[in-house]
Structure 1
């Protein structure tokens, strides 16, 4: 079982420094909510973990994720927060053997991210174990003996690397990585090299595989995916059925051509959703309206998602945005409840969902979930139903963006949070109170003409 243990950020957007641990002592948490005012680092966390997923996926050849856009261009905004200072991310995964720690340092050059340094480390769970560096890459520091951008080599590693065939292969990989500015550790050619050679510690290849498996079980529902619900054209459904993970976008009004493999996944996920949906939204189920056609190009299928209540069947477009939001995320919530390897990150979880129902969903996962659900929310209802150690608050201090607030066992976390925002008292300031009189004065001052 691979679990997210900790993630640390430096110089990422509006986060000068911040770290979040997803364990309580030696116990892995199954839920973490992130709360705070606008612009305080909540979405930055979502984008950061998405960036790590793209780094790892970029090294997986012939995968379902090969059609992703170039992550080096997508995520340039991550490194633009502090005058292009070097940005860094450190992420730790924990399993029964120990901690695997991957760190990456990057900046923006020529309008895209360039990874300039990265490392993989390992710490055994045995008592008194220390952190051991397994591999260290630095794009601009080459080894004097072999011109490779790989440092801190052990004597046995350096001897084997200097063997002509190994050296040539690593130099070719280094040149490829240097040209595209991507990851060395998660480069597919380097992965193949590790599998056939016996140069580095076994934990290096093991660590790469652990990060790959973690990212394959990681599903991120960001604000762009959620926002597409409100277009009333497509319904993005996150799914986790059998060994398939990802999203499928389905028409909710007009019919749409769909690939055969997508139909298979869509039917499976709808069957799964219908086992829970009528409990959350009484008497509601969904189905696919399917039509098969034949033309010169061959057979294809048109589908549209339908809702059904009381024997009445209608296009799902007629339902509220809140119901469509629940349907969109329900499969991944079912997965994170049942699968101990699942990690699900949902930005703006509360958007459109009735707050009492939101609290019941969060409470259910908090009490019995086997995986890890990380959610961003502005609705404070979940604070009334989960323990304080499962909540992270963002602060106004850019050098310490994420904190936990300890409260008495008989105190309501929601009330405590409101009190700390209004009166202060937390280890870092959480919010600058703004009175309605100040807002009115600002509105009056901002007018540009007489009406």
Structure 2
């Protein structure tokens, strides 16, 4: 089974009143989608929303981080569609609002809907599972809602509300469905979305902050051996941050050789490794180790802590790039891909991914070098219109340089939406002088 992200629609989240992005064309799914635009125009919102959807599907709690993305006045909505190639299209829609409970901001989920249609002409979406919080109902495609007892429903709803988590994707609902032999249709779409979330890799600006603070480089991996599987973030410590279990040591032994194969091609002459500095017996009775990571150049070791943020970011992204290049099910979403990376190298990396990746890469960036290596259909531009946040440029010919065309559109317009609110240099100068005046 190969599953691709088909589209995303965002309503009333941060500075996006409405925005939609499609990750396919008439020729097929795009393996690369870059999102460009001025500061504060909704680029990062796409990454934030994908991260939120991933955590909802995985049954995690939505903390205050996400309530900060919305306001009290509007009801927010997100819809994503994925496609099981040559089989079906799945849709997940969630409606929610911001509420204040006992002085704390939180998210109240108003409704969730899972729908599916066959990947054929003239097919319509059929609702498979629908949860309506205010009406206190949940409906299934093949099951009567009365087959789940009122007490069971009440408990499931209460857990969802208390945890600010998905009702549909909570583990307790799946356990209840497993008791019904006729719930195969419902279990199938739940499993397909779970697979989608497990294959979705997110790199946010928070990860960049961990690197800048010299705390750790977070590396996202999927690692499996015998009866052990790990899917998530592995910390690459950049200082003495405590002790790590044998499990992490085994993971390092497995992933570092793979990462070094790519690293020394991206940054010539450098590889990374680690030394175990100390071992102790942990509370669980298992050995724990304090490790120090280093980079090697020309046979000499240097603490990884003192490498540039750009090098450490590349290390954090290595496994993303390896996975998405080789696995058609992997989807990688990266905020500010260009931050800290030399622009010519950035162009080389994006070009290689664009021409050969089996999975899907979605990224935001400001560096215009990438526009010179990507075809026009692989770039989305954010606009100044909150009600139509994302567009693709029109009128671009095959002979046009997309970078030059974009800059010209910024200056003289010509697109369906305005792309940039021009700033008058003299106004900026006056503001600088005014801000610098001391109060009498």
TM-score (norm 1): 0.89
Inter-partner Cα distance in structure 1 for 2:189 and 2:359:
20
1:65 aligned partner: none
Q: Give 1:146's aligned residue.
A: none
1:338 is aligned to 326
Residue 52 of structure 1 pairs with residue 43 of structure 2: no
Matching residue of 1:423: 412
Give me the whole-angstrom Cα distance separating, in 2, the residues matched to 1:339 and 1:4: 14
Alignment partner for residue 211 of structure 2, among 221, 226, 229? Answer: 229
Gaps of 5+ in 1: 60-69, 143-148
Q: Deviations over 1:251-303 (max 9, x none)?
A: 23447411111111222221111101111111111111123524585532111
**What RMSD in Å do the two structures reach over aligned CA positions?**
2.1
The whole-number CA distance in structure 2 between the counterparts of 1:14 and 1:46 is: 14
SS at match of 1:162: helix
State the partner residue of 1:328.
316
Aligned counterparts of 2:282 and 2:309: Cα–Cα separation in 1: 38
Q: Deviations over 1:215-235 (max 9, x none)?
A: 111111100111211112322
Preserved contact between residue 215 and residue 241 of structure 2 (Cα < 8 Å): no
Tell me the SS of whatever aligns to 1:286.
Answer: strand
1:248 aligns with 2:196: no
**Selected match of 1:289 from 272, 275, 296:** 275
| Worse-superposed segment, 247-256 or 429-438 | 247-256
Describe how 1:285-364 pairs up with structure 2 within 5 A.
Answer: 285-294=271-280, 299-364=287-352
What pairs up with 1:388-407 in 2 under 5 angstroms?
388-406=376-394, 407=396
In structure 2, the CA distance between the partners of 1:139 and 1:426, relative to structure 1 (3 Å rule), is same
Please list the CA deviations of residues 4-55 of structure 1 after superposition, one character each: whole Å capped at 9, or x if unmatched. Answer: 1011011111100001111112511111111111111111111111111111
Task: Flag structure 2 segments of 5+ consecutive residues without an equivalent.
Answer: none
| CA deviation vs aligned residue, 1:286-327 (integer Å, no higher than 9, x gap) | 111123524585532111111111111121123221111111
- What is the Cα deviation at residue 195 of structure 1? 2.1
Q: How far has the Cα of 1:72 moved from its partner?
A: 4.1
Aligned residue number for residue 166 of structure 2: 183
1:372 aligns with 2:360: yes
Q: Give, in whole Å, the separation in 1 of the partners of 2:302 and 2:162.
A: 53
1:175 Cα deviation from its structure 2 partner: 4.3
Q: C-alpha displacement at 1:94, in angstroms?
A: 0.5
Tell me: CA distance 1:239–1:199, structure 2 relative to 1, closer, same or farther (3 Å): closer
Over 3 Å counting, the alpha-carbon distance change for 1:254 and 1:17 in structure 2 is same
Aligned residue in 1 for 2:11 = 10
For the 8 Å contact 1:396–1:429, the answer to whether it is kept is: yes
Q: Residue 277 and residue 86 in structure 1: after superposition, are their counterparts in 2 closer, same or farther (change >3 A)?
A: same
Give the secondary-structure state (helix, strand or coil) at the position aligned to 2:346: helix
Whether the 8 Å CA contact 1:35–1:393 is kept in 2: the answer is yes
- For 1:306 and 1:179, locate their aligned partners in 2 and report how far apart those are by CA, in whole Å: 43
